[in-house]
Amino acid sequence: ETGVTQTPRHLVMGMTNKKSLKCEQHLGHNAMYWYKQSAKKPLELMFVYNFKEQTENNSVPSRFSPECPNSSHLFLHLHTLQPEDSALYLCASSQEGGASRDTQYFGPGTRLTVL
Amino acid sequence: SQKIEQNSEALNIQEGKTATLTCNYTNYSPAYLQWYRQDPGRGPVFLLLIRENEKEKRKERLKVTFDTTLKQSLFHITASQPADSATYLCALGDYGQNFVFGPGTRLSVLP
């Protein structure tokens, strides 16, 4: 286990549902990240939190809403998603999230299917 | 626009041979480059980091080179084993907030 856990591992939801993805890191890191990985596409960075503050939002639609209550926990709240949002959502953490980004430790991901 | 390419979507090699994976970039000035391994259904796992002022890094059977003139990194796995079969991702970061992954190369080591 990498020290970064994600729940649930699999999620199927309808376009009108509201759900949340959870990530927890046990590594004492200060930065956490959400990535989206779609088939045949590179990993896409969605959000970065550094010391609980959001430092990056890469033009992510508002139907994805992140929350970082503390340095160990990160949530991704989902509502009114589209089928094209179906993907593997990966959480990662690193010691710091500023310039010269550190080695990132990834969780196992949540496989999301939007019907 | 910034672009990262990895030599091929898939690479098949025979067990015992050296696998060489390529990461090329354009319109980018990376301060460092990382290589990750990803197995199906799992998150990427960090392997090696090389900085712009370093030419080569080694770790056990792994070797990474970084040529900022050619805008290229090579990732070598010597004495490859079937257990090395996975997707390998390169990722580039600069001195700002830019950090981006390449599309990955799926390596299959055949027994």
Does B28 contact A at CB distance below 8 Å? Answer: no
Q: A103 vs B97: CB contact, 8 Å cut-off?
A: no
Q: Please name the residues in contact with B27: beta carbons below 8 A apart, sequence gap of 6 or more.
A: B1, B2, B3
pLDDT in tens, A1-19: 459 999 999 999 988 889 9
Beta bridge partners of B27: none
Contacts of A91 in chain B (CB under 8 A): 43
pLDDT band at residue A99 under the 50/70/90 scheme: low
For residue B43, give the nearest of A55, A103, A109 by CB distance: A109
Nearest residue to B28 via CA among B97, B80, B82, B94:
B94
Contact B97 A48 (CB under 8 A): yes
* pLDDT single digits (tens) A18-67: 999 999 999 999 999 999 999 878 899 999 998 888 888 888 999 999 99
- Whether residue B101 and residue A43 make contact (CB cut-off 8 A), yes or no, is yes
Roughly how many angstroms between the first and final C-alpha of chain A, as a whole number? 31
**What is the DSSP code string of chain A?**
--SEEEE-SEEEE-TT-EEEEEEEE-S--SEEEEEEE-TTS--EEEEEEETTEEEEE-S--TTEEEEEEETTEEEEEEES--GGG-EEEEEEEES--SSSPPPPEE---EEEEE-
pLDDT at A101: 64
Residues A82, B90: Cα–Cα separation, whole Å: 29
What confidence score (pLDDT) does residue A2 get?
Answer: 54
Instruction: For residue B103, give the nearest of A42, A48, A103 by CB distance.
Output: A42
Higher pLDDT, A75 or A96: A75
